[in-house]
Amino acid sequence: MAKYIGILTSGGDSPGLNAAIRGVGKAALGYYGMQMIGFRDGFRGFMENRTIELDTNTLSGILTLGGTILGTSRDKPHRMPVAGKLVDMTDVLVANYHRHHLDVLVCLGGGGTQKHAYRLTQKGLHVITLPKTIDNDVALTDITFGFDTALGVATEAIDRLHSTAHSHHRIVVVEIMGHRVGWLALGAGIAGGADVILIPEIPYDVEVIADAIRARSHSGKRFSIVAVAEGAVSRQDAAALRSAEQLVAKAKSSDALTKAEAVLAKAEAQHAGNTMRLAKQLEGLTGLESRVTILGYLQRGGTPSAADRLLASRLGVACAELIHKGRYGVMVAARGDTTKPVPLQEVAGKLRHVPPDHPWVATARRVGTCLGD
Ligand code: F6P
């Protein structure tokens, strides 16, 4: 009997998702003679049995498309909003897996998806995941697809902001995505030549940033570009946020988790608008006019870069091969030019932060970039 694959995309969309769906599908259907069905809108559509037929026609012409033809959502199997409440719908998902006579469920997603997928394997399901996110924060893979495209968009934005900052002798603070990790802000900041780069892993002191900008002014450079990750925090705010995050990580019961999440949401709400505040502070401290640009969802939209199409296709094809071999319960990780199946148990719940001694951090420091510390 031909193997029957279910596939879904979960979490924030990311360039390269369609290339990955195509990679899995074309290899599975065309090369291994399997069959495949898509579920719409992540785990939500899987729970609600909303499907999309995937055949050689539907898989054609999607390589270069941004977003995901399947649709996505951030709904979690064990905490699904139903009639205004968060309900554990895991058993319904398990029942749907069997109802469709699936041999495996392929989940394309980021850190959260790895955790949900692992929980499903604990219920006896065969699951394989592929790592996607523009944040590049999934553990145990060299890189995630979506990152390269977003890196290109953010770098081009910094390039463009240079000429206007220079012309008006202004500080331009550009906010780049990344709530918990700073790969995107750091990478784009280095590639775009930002004068200051602020990331969540390195809490900043606003006085240190102002000093760096003043020093540039004294040397005749009367503008500065500050690349700030969404989740970058001042030293003062860092402690409160970290302890709220730890509460969430350590919560044992659903009740404790709900409470801990409320504490975290409050801490994060205080952080919202941080980029605007930072720009005002810098204006006050340096006497230079400042402006803010928030790149937001531009970084997630549009056509994937060649590197992302290639990565997503490679991982997708490797996924089909693993299904053919009956190797389940793994994430297909990128390792140099090859791929590696990593047990979901090892990936679930881990985040790949920027280590303080990472070569990118050293590079930024040695070319004279201020990291705010
Ligand atoms: O995880 C990817 C990401 O784009 C983050 O960089 C960003 O903080 C978050 O998603 C935004 O999430 P949402 O799409 O739910 O607003």
User: Domain residues of the chain, as ranges?
Assistant: 4-145+304-347, 148-300
Nearest CA to ligand 1 atom 14: 12
Contact 108, 18 (CB under 8 A): no
Ligand 1 within 6 A of 200 CB? no
Q: The tokens of 65 are what?
A: 């498309």
Question: pLDDT per residue over 224-240, tens digit each?
Answer: 999 999 999 999 888 88
Q: What number is the average pLDDT over the span 114-128?
A: 98
Longest Cα–Cα distance of the chain, Å, equals: 74
Q: How far is the CA of 81 from the centre of ligand 1 (A)?
A: 19
Q: Which two tokens stand for residue 373?
A: 């510390």
Beta strands at 127-131 and 290-294: parallel, antiparallel or unpaired: unpaired
**Are 65 and 303 a contacting pair, CB within 8 Å?**
yes
Q: Give the residue numbers marked as catalytic.
A: 135
- Going from the Cα of 27 to the center of ligand 1, the distance in angstroms, rounded, reads 30
Topology (CATH) of 148-300: Rossmann fold (3.40.50)
> What's the pLDDT at 288?
97
pLDDT band at residue 2, thresholds of 50, 70 and 90? confident
Nearest in space to 150 (alpha carbons), one of 204, 229, 73 = 229
Euclidean distance between CA atoms 21 and 319, whole angstroms: 10
Which of 72, 134, 147, 353 for mutating ligand 1's site (highest number of atoms within 8 Å of CB)? 134
Asked whether 28 and 318 are in contact (CB, 8 A), the reply is no
For the CA of 297, the closest atom of ligand 1 is: 4
- CB of 149 closer than 6 A to ligand 1? no
- Would 4-145+304-347 and 148-300 be classified into the same CATH topology? yes
Q: Are 202 and 356 in contact (CB under 8 A)?
A: yes
CA of 12 to the centre of ligand 1 (A): 6
pLDDT digits (tens, 9 = 90+) for 123-156: 999 999 999 999 999 999 999 999 999 999 999 9
Instruction: For the chain, give the mean pLDDT.
Output: 96
Q: Which residues pair with 4 in a beta bridge?
A: 35
Residue of 179, 186, 351 best suited for mutating to test ligand 1, as the one with most atoms within 8 Å of CB = 179
Nearest-atom index, ligand 1, CA of 299: 4
Question: What pLDDT was estimated at residue 268?
Answer: 81
pLDDT band at residue 163, thresholds of 50, 70 and 90? very high
In this predicted structure, the answer to whether residue 102 has a pLDDT above a threshold of 90 is: yes
pLDDT (mean) for 345-351: 96
Question: pLDDT-based confidence at 315, cuts 50/70/90?
Answer: very high
Q: Is 135 in the pocket of ligand 1 (CB under 6 A)?
A: yes
In this structure, the number of other CB atoms found within 10 A of the CB of residue 243 comes to: 12
What pLDDT, on a 0 to 100 scale, did the predictor assign at position 253? 87
The reported pLDDT for the residue numbered 352 is 98
Is the pLDDT assigned to residue 242 strictly greater than 90? Answer: no
Q: What's the pLDDT at 190? A: 98
CA 40 – CA 96 distance, rounded (Å) = 13
Residue 334 confidence (pLDDT): 98
pLDDT at 1: 78
| CATH number of the domain located at residue range(s) 4-145+304-347 in this protein | 3.40.50.450
**pLDDT above 90 for 76:** yes
Q: Sheet holding 224-229: strands in order across? A: 196-198, 224-229, 171-176, 290-294
Average pLDDT for 250-269: 86
Predicted confidence band at 117 (pLDDT cuts at 50, 70, 90)?
very high
Ligand 1 close to Cβ of residue 229 (< 6 A): no
pTM here is: 0.94
Whether the per-residue pLDDT at 252 is higher than 90: the answer is no
The predicted model gives 267-273 an average pLDDT of: 82
Q: Is the CB of 133 under 6 A from ligand 1?
A: yes
- Which pLDDT score is estimated for 240? 84
Distance 138 CA to ligand 1 centre (A): 14
* Rounded Cα distance, 294 and 257, in Å: 31
Q: Give the angle 31-34-39 at the CA atoms, nearest 5°.
A: 120
Nearest by Cα to 3 from 221, 323, 265 = 323
